[in-house]
Structure formats: C-alpha cells, structure tokens
Amino acid sequence: MDSNPSSAETAPGNIYVSSAVTNAAKILVVGHFAVGKTTFIGSLSEITPLRTEEKMTQASLHVDDLRGVADKTTTTVALDFGRLTLSDDLVLYLFGTPGQQRFMQLWEDMARGALGALLLVDPARLEETFPVIDLVERYGLEYAIAVNSFQRGTVYEEAEVREALDLLPDTPVVYCDARDRQSSAHALIALVRHLLTRAA
Ligand SMILES: Nc1nc2c(ncn2[C@@H]2O[C@H](COP(=O)(O)OP(=O)(O)O)[C@@H](O)[C@H]2O)c(=O)[nH]1
Ligand SMILES: [Mg+2]
C-alpha cells in the first residue's frame, strides 16, 4: 500500500484524493436502463468504480426492458460510484442513479447535495427518457443531456433531440461515446460549465 497518498496524485487507480483538493462535488449520472451509465462512470473513474450490478435472471426479464440490448446480462441493483479529479482543487464524485421506476425512493437521497445531473440519452429510445426528465425536474436538479449514440449509423440531429425531449434552449446537449474516456469527460465538462454559469 502507498504510505504517501500525495505522491501518486490522481493517477488512474489511485485510491487517494490529492491533498491539494479543496472542493468536492456530487454529480449524478442518470438515465434509463441500458443507456450506458455504468459504462460512462467506468470509463471516467480514477478509482475502480463501485458497482452494484447483478446478473439478470429470468425473473427480471419482464422488469428490465431488453429491447435493442439483447446482449446485456447485468442490471444495476442500486447504483454506481466513481471519482474524477477535474482540476488541481476539484474532485467530482459520480453517482450512477438508475432510472427504472422501482428506484424512485433512491432518488430522494441521491438528489440531496447533488450539484447537478448528466442525463444520458439513447436517441433510439427517446421515450424512455421522459420519466428520467420528470425525476430530475421533480428534484430541482440542473442537468445537461449527453446523447450516447451507440454508433448505430443513424444521425440524430441536436434539434430533433431538443424538440423530442422539449428541452429549454439553455439546456446543453452534447454527444458522447460512453466507452471513451475523453468523450465522456467532454460531456461531463459541458455539465460542469452549465452548472458554473447557473451558479454565477
Ligand atoms: N456500442 C456502444 N455500446 C455501449 C455504449 N455505452 C454502453 N454500451 C453498451 O450498452 C450496454 C448497456 O450499458 P450499461 O453501461 O450497462 O448501461 P446502464 O444500465 O445504463 O448502466 C452494455 O453492454 C455496454 O457495453 C456506447 O457508447 N456504444
Ligand atoms: Mg448500470
């Protein structure tokens, strides 16, 4: 074990927060089932993310909608947790919060103290995002939309996504590949910028 936490700073896999960090913020990564929340936090987190995934059983077949994601074999029972040091003095704690109806109780706790939410959207399943938007709005969370396009070939224009989701003009919409660290960081930074302008 490293006995000198500050020496390793924020290298991937480092379990210590740099001693220079003075600000910590809680950010929620939200979205419907199989939109890429676990993937997103996994690609960004500098610590091994805490995952509470379980193998899906026959019993969950009628509960979790597998249309279009037939190769998915796990489902998040509660949440994902990861950490990302964004600058010399700012660390983000990422909480992946499931959008399924049965986790609504969890939202109340998760929303407390959260700076805002990055709302992952699969443009091929836009209607599944409506209940998630209802939740972020109900809990008064500022949010940005990250379209995780799954490289399907179909181009979903920003204007279409905005109109379908009935977004306010100043709600940021960014495109990302949840598997890619840089792309995910870009989406998260769009949210943080939005939160900073709101706080100013
Ligand atoms: N092709 C592609 N697959 C993705 C992407 N993001 C997630 N996936 C896959 O989609 C499935 C669901 O992702 P997961 O992160 O488990 O979704 P969650 O239920 O929101 O946590 C997994 O098999 C991922 O590997 C992406 O950007 N592109
Ligand atoms: Mg998950």
Q: What is the pLDDT of residues 9-61, one digit of tens each?
A: 444 556 677 777 778 899 999 999 899 999 999 999 988 777 765 555 555 54
Whether 5 is covered by a domain: the verdict is no
Q: Among all chains, which residue has been given the structure tokens 């990250």?
A: 146
Whole-angstrom distance, CA of residue 200 vs CA of residue 196:
6
Q: Return the sign of the alpha-carbon dihedral for residues 156, 158, 163, 165.
A: positive
| pLDDT category of residue 72 using cuts at 50, 70 and 90 | low
Is 77 a member of any domain?
Answer: yes
Distance 103 CA to ligand 2 centre (A): 13
Range of the domain at 144: 23-199
Q: Are 80 and 45 contacting, i.e. CB atoms less than 8 angstroms apart?
A: no
pTM, 2 dp? 0.83
Domain contains 127? yes
**Ligand 1 near 39 CB (within 6 A):** yes
Q: Is any ligand 1 atom within 6 A of the Cβ of residue 38? A: yes
Residue 143 Cβ < 6 Å to ligand 1:
no
Counting ligands in written order, the one closest to the CA of 33 is 1
Nearest atom within ligand 1 for CA of residue 71: 23
Residue 16 covered by a domain: no
Kindly give the distance from the C-alpha atom of residue 39 to the centroid of ligand 2, in angstroms, as a whole number: 7
Q: How far is CA 11 from the centre of its chain?
A: 21
- 2: pLDDT confidence band, cut at 50, 70 and 90? very low
Q: Could you tell me if 125 and 153 are in contact, meaning their C-beta atoms sit under 8 angstroms apart?
A: no
How many domains does the structure of the chain reveal? 1
Q: Is residue 100 part of a domain?
A: yes
**CATH number, position 96:** 3.40.50.300
Asked whether residue 63 is domain-assigned, the answer is yes
Are the C-beta atoms of 81 and 94 separated by less than 8 Å?
yes
Residue 2 lies in a domain: no
Read off the DSSP letter of residue 163: H
1, part of any domain: no
Task: For residue 109, give every residue at least 6 positions away whose Cβ sits within 8 Å of its Cβ, in sequence order, or none.
Answer: none
Nearest to 45 by CA among 75, 11, 74: 11
**How high is the pLDDT of residue 160?**
95
Q: Which of 29, 39, 63, 152 to mutate to test the pocket of ligand 1 (most atoms within 8 A of CB)?
A: 39
Ligand 1 touching residue 150 (CB < 6 A) = yes
DSSP state of 174: E
Ligand 2 (single-atom ion) residues, CB below 5 Å: 37-38, 76
pLDDT confidence tier of residue 65, bands split at 50, 70 and 90 = low
Quickly state the pLDDT bin for 70 (edges 50, 70, 90).
low
Distance between CA atoms of residues 136 and 118, nearest Å = 10
Work out whether strand 90-98 and strand 23-31 pair parallel, antiparallel, or are unpaired: parallel
